[in-house]
Amino acid sequence: MAIETRERPRVSDEPQREPQLGAHLVLQALVREGVEVIFGYPGGAILPVYDALPYYPIHHVLVRHEQSAAFAADGYARATGKVGVCMATSGPGATNLVTGIANAMMDSIPIVAITGQVSQSVIGMDAFQETDITGITLPITKYNMVIRSVDEIGPAIQKAFYLARTGRPGPVLIDIPKDVQLAKGYLAPRQELHLPGYRPTIVPHRRQIRRAAELIRQAKRPLILAGHGIIISGATEELVRFAERTQIPVGLTLLGISGFPASHPLCLGMVGMHGHAHANRAIHEADLIIGIGMRFDDRVTGRPSEFAPNAKIIHIDIDPAEIGKVLKTEVPVVGDAREALRLLLEELEPLEHDDWISQIRSWYRPIRTEPSGPDGVLQPQYVIARLHALTEGKAIVTTDVGQHQMWTAQLYRCDIPKQWISSGGLGAMGFGVPSAMGAAIGRPEAEVWAVVGDGGVQMTLNEFATIVDEQLNVKVAIINNGYLGMVRQWQQLFHNRNYSETPISSPDYVLLGQAYRMPACRVTRPGEVDEAIQWARSFRGPALIEFVVNQEENVYPMIPSGGSFRDMIDDTQVEGEW
């Protein structure tokens, strides 16, 4: 490749002798921040940066739609813990990033989005491909900015990465007008940032920790609800020690999955709307809830007034605005989850809750995973259960949004932090395939499975081209039930089976795979499931399996939106061992 023959400019903090184009300074600043990968799509207003790109040790992944660039940067960030970077041109390039940025905002994912902008001389003139992207993304970014002069490039990019990854992480957008990319200047050395309005509390207040410890000591039926903050702060080890020492069972939010090992005897699995019945019942019966790195989302609480009606609340979160937002909180603890758990471990002696734990276990019923339904058709839950068994629970799993997402959350039992990648707060269909792409780029050694539905996959299946271009080790498992299944389930349960616009057709996925030069197969019978999964695992690189499953299977248990534990619908559970 031509790249290798070109001389790479040095990137260092030494003063530069000659002024350089802003576009080069942008890339130098990115390299200085440790950026190795950019997911992007070129266009007019970002062309100078693309012109300079081949000179830098950055792997650019050419996506097929900017939304996927943002989703891929998100998946990359979740799989690696590093800041993901996406890049697009002005106007439509920038607006196409919006859903991905909103997704990162809702799920506290550190990404930096770089957009080209029309030259400052025509900003405000409705120029070709001009859009006020900082205005548009104001409420869906942690911070955003326009770089107005070449001197600001270094400090702005340094600030963007710092803000994205510190405190409660989130997306930061940098809009760079074309004239700034084309102006000549110098890269300012990295310096201490002056951010008087931004001082995240990392170490919690000791007095709050003592108050929390006192409530924990007094509790008879305590329960930990662990969220995404455990994974972000790398607190899994501390959480395991804390749960073991205090013998408090752990329920996980959707994004908390993989933050506490599913195979741990104290793990109750997912809570909330489609959480395990025993886990939700434990919330209902608990006398103390310890929320750690989670935000009592409505998909967790249902109707807040009936959530954990007998419990006091300890809420540990790095974002003080989350504490008291939904529930009255007895002990607020502002700080990093890992720091908080460390301090709690210092305060607390071993505790026992044998009766409580055995009570919860007595409520346990496994989610059913029979291979086929009454009419012999393949059951989707069986597919997930087999995928978990055959990958030994070690794959990185991304999902789209809907029924398959919930079955995977219930049945792909994750033991390794960062192996679970799913769109939580925003619930963005189309996330599964591009996020798998990002994860596979960030973790090339890993086996990545994108479990997607036939609805969501059709939103971003253009990225099969990217996956094939990059020869990523992404295996796409399409759970095809011919419906927008979760919406259909709601229509069945709450809209009198009026299946308005939820039946959805699909292309021939095997032919489509062939068209993209992606090995593909179709599974329609339970007996073929293992063979297909083993086939996809037998080689490195992309693969696609379409699982044609029971069309009207529902996700259970289910607590209807705005309901409480008492409203739980749960007619599929079977007898089984803990």
- How big is the chain, counted in residues? 578
Q: Take residue 313 and report the two structure tokens written for it.
A: 């609340």
Q: Of 82, 142, 178, 475, which residue is the catalytic one? A: 178
- Supply the minimum distance, in Å, between the C-beta of residue 108 and another protein: 9
Verify whether residue 128 is a known catalytic residue.
Answer: yes
Cα torsion angle, 424, 425, 428, 429, sign: positive
Residues near another protein (CB under 8 A): 134-135, 138-139, 143, 163, 167-168, 195-201, 317-322, 324-325, 334
Which of 148, 135, 136 lies closest to 176, judged by CA? Answer: 148
Residue 321 vs 389, nearer CB to another protein: 321
Residue 232 vs 250, nearer CB to another protein: 232
Residue 23 vs 326, nearer CB to another protein: 326
Q: Of 33, 66, 130, 470, which residue is the catalytic one? A: 66
Q: Of 129, 359, 492, 573, which residue is the catalytic one? A: 129
Report the DSSP beta bridge partners of residue 174.
114, 145
- Supply the minimum distance, in Å, between the C-beta of residue 109 and another protein: 14
Query: What is the pairing mode between strands 331-334 and 312-317?
Result: parallel
Q: Of 87, 406, 437, 486, which residue is the catalytic one? A: 486
- Supply the minimum distance, in Å, between the C-beta of residue 159 and another protein: 9
Q: Of 125, 128, 346, 531, which residue is the catalytic one? A: 128
What is the torsion angle, in degrees rounded to the nearest 10, for the CA atoms of residue 51, residue 52, residue 55 and residue 60?
-70
Residue 201 vs 551, nearer CB to another protein: 201
Burial 509-519 (b: 16+ CB within 10 A, else e): bbebbeebebb
> Could you give the C-alpha distances from 124 to 91, 183, 228, in angstroms and in order?
13, 20, 40
- Supply the minimum distance, in Å, between the C-beta of residue 435 and another protein: 24
The span from the CA of 251 to the CA of 262, in Å, is 10
Verify whether residue 528 is a known catalytic residue.
Answer: no
Residue 17 vs 199, nearer CB to another protein: 199
Contact 268, 360 (CB under 8 A): yes
Contact 168, 319 (CB under 8 A): yes
Q: Take residue 377 and report the two structure tokens written for it.
A: 């058709």
Verify whether residue 418 is a known catalytic residue.
Answer: no
- Supply the minimum distance, in Å, between the C-beta of residue 319 and another protein: 3
Which of 200, 436, 219 lies closest to 318, judged by CA? Answer: 200
- Supply the minimum distance, in Å, between the C-beta of residue 318 and another protein: 5
Residue 169 vs 402, nearer CB to another protein: 169
Active site residues: 66, 128-129, 178, 486
